[in-house]
Every structure is written in C-alpha cells, then in structure tokens.
Amino acid sequence: MKERLQALQQEAVAKINEITDDLKQLNEIRISYLGKKGPITEVLKGMGALSAEERPKIGAIANEVRTVIQEKIEQKTKAIEEAIIQKKLASEAIDVTLPGRPQFLGSKHPLTIVIEEIEDLFIGMGYEIAEGPEVESDYFNFEMLNLPKGHPARDMQDSFYITEEILLRTHTSPVQARTMVGKKNKESFKIICPGKVFRRDDDDATHSHQFTQIEGLVVGENIRMSDLKGTLEVFAKKMFGPEREIRLRPSFFPFTEPSVEMDISCMMCAGNGCKTCKHTGWIEILGAGMVHPHVLEMAGYHSKKFSGFAFGMGPDRIAMLKYGIHDIRHFYTNDIRFLSQFKPSMD
C-alpha cells in the first residue's frame, strides 16, 4: 500500500510539473487525485484489511501524500497566476523613455502680435478698447468725419461700396464718431480701436486692398496739442526703442485741425540715412491731429467745453518695420512657412 501511495504521489507530481499555464487542467488533477472518487481515497478504503499496527503508518503516509500533492498544486497555481499577471503587466507596459509625439503649436499672426503690443501700451495709459463694424455706413465713414458727399478728400480713400450708403470702412475713424455719439452723458474718454479696413488699391509689395489700422481718440476738457505730442512720443519710444526721436509735420485730414503726420528717427540707421528711410533719416508712422470742432459738435459734444486729439496708424507698416518684412501681401496670403516664423511667446 505504501508503494502504491508513493507511486500515486510521483505520478501526480509529474503531471502537475508538466502543466505550464492551464489552471483548469490543474484543477482536474486535484479532483482526480484528491477527490472522493480518487485513487488515494480508494487506497484508504482498503485500510480495513490492515493490521492495527500498520494502519496508522499507512494513514500517516496517505496524509503526507495528500499534503504533498496539495502543496504542489497550490505552488503551481500561484506560479501560474503570477505568470498571468506578469504577462498582463508586460503587455500593458508604457515605455516612459520613448520620446513623445510633438504637438503642433500654432503661432500668433504677426499683425496680432503688433496690435496686442500697441493695445497693452495704451491700456497702460488708461485707454479702453473700442470696436466698430467693418461694413460701415457712408454716414459714419465720411459724413460724421467732416467729409460730406463730393468732398475732394474722399478720393484719397477709394472705397468698396456695397450700396450707395453702405461700404467697407476705409479707415477706423468712424469708430471715433460712433464712440462720441454713443456717450450719452458726453463725458471724457480715451479709446483705441484696432481693426480691418479696406481700400480699392491694386495689391503690390506696399499696398493691400485689406489692411489694419489702430485709431486713437481722447476727448476731454483742456486736451491740447502738447498732450497729443507727449502721448505719441511715449508710444514711439516704447514701441521702437528709447533712443527714437519723433517729428511732427503739418498735414491735412478733414476731421482734425490742425493735422500732423508723425515720423520717427530711423531705427535701421539711427537717422543717418538708409534704404528703409529712403535716405531721409525719418520714417512716417501715423497721422494725427486735434479733433475738428465740427466733428465734436456733430457728435453732440460742445466744442467750447471739450477738445480732443486723434491718431491713426497702420500695424501692417509697423510689423513690416519691426520684423523686416518687405511685402505686405505676406500678411494676407496665409503661407504657413511665413506665419510659423512668429513663435508664440511663452508668457
């Protein structure tokens, strides 16, 4: 009987050892060897024929054989379960050393960069941002700015008319009139207005039928030409460098009186003369002037009590100077090779 039991143990252990990954098979072995109908139980049943002396010995051996098989199965079960987990972990593993896929980061349009810079500068001086429609009425684009129908200065701004009274705005100055009309209490204010404008120009390196402007308008009591000059000087130095000088030249706009054009000393040659400044040492940057009393009156402001100054500049031109861009059309043709050169700032 002893031999029989030992043979069973060997047989069972051999079968268990053969199993590599099948838990079901392992369970079958357990049932077939250790179950009620298994061979060990069978052997034990025959113990009645043994002597009282031998019985406990064989019983002990039988128990030992059971335990050995049981332990062997448990060990194997654990090993298989562990292997399953390891396999799963390996298949789900993330290689943290793999380089990530780069995300394509867009960049701001150069005009947006320049416009935001100018906005920040004027917001720092207490200005608010105003907006107006790109499809504008003749009334706000011209009439309210002292440019009645038939006025020769209208020819300076060849327009895209939609109807006789509606056009694409030719400048951001209508926002001046809109803002003044909109002030019900006729109080003081300071605004700048960035936006797109449109003129019937043939496109070339320096002309585009669509471009941008930034309008500035200050209305208040005792606003003087010196305020305008001081404001423009601060703007020029902050935008183009502290060593810039400004120069105001007399000019004409129907909605300002007196009117000026502002030049800055050329930043390329420090005023000595170069291609950029056409050998004059100066670069024209904007138009400006004191708001015409008639423009104030038309918008409901008493010109005896209130005065103001206005200016208008072109971010396209400023961006071209700042970044050394030689063709205005680059801003509007959306060539990714051009646009992606203006990397987003990390602030």
**Contacts to ligand PHE by CB under 6 A:** 171, 173, 215, 253, 256, 287-289, 310-312
Residues paired with 161 in a beta bridge? 167
In this complex, which beta carbon is closest to ligand PHE, that of residue 9 or of residue 256? 256
Which residue has its beta carbon closest to ligand PHE? 312
In this complex, which beta carbon is closest to ligand PHE, that of residue 146 or of residue 173? 173
Distance CA 336, CA 341 (A): 8
Closest CA to 201 of 316, 114, 289, 118: 316
126-165 as b/e: b if 16+ CB within 10 A? ebeebebeeebbbebbbbbbbbeeeeeebeebebeeeeee
Pair 242, 264: CB distance under 8 Å? no
CB of 232 to ligand PHE, least distance (A): 11
CB of 170 to ligand PHE, least distance (A): 7
CB of 234 to ligand PHE, least distance (A): 17
Pair 282, 266: CB distance under 8 Å? yes
In this complex, which beta carbon is closest to ligand PHE, that of residue 258 or of residue 273? 258
In this complex, which beta carbon is closest to ligand PHE, that of residue 9 or of residue 307? 307
CB of 289 to ligand PHE, least distance (A): 5
Residues paired with 219 in a beta bridge? 189, 308
CB of 313 to ligand PHE, least distance (A): 8
In this complex, which beta carbon is closest to ligand PHE, that of residue 33 or of residue 189? 189
Query: How many CB atoms within 10 Å of residue 5?
Result: 20
Kindly state the tokens that stand for 326: 């030689």
CB of 199 to ligand PHE, least distance (A): 9
Distance CA 207, CA 203 (A): 5
In this complex, which beta carbon is closest to ligand PHE, that of residue 19 or of residue 144? 144
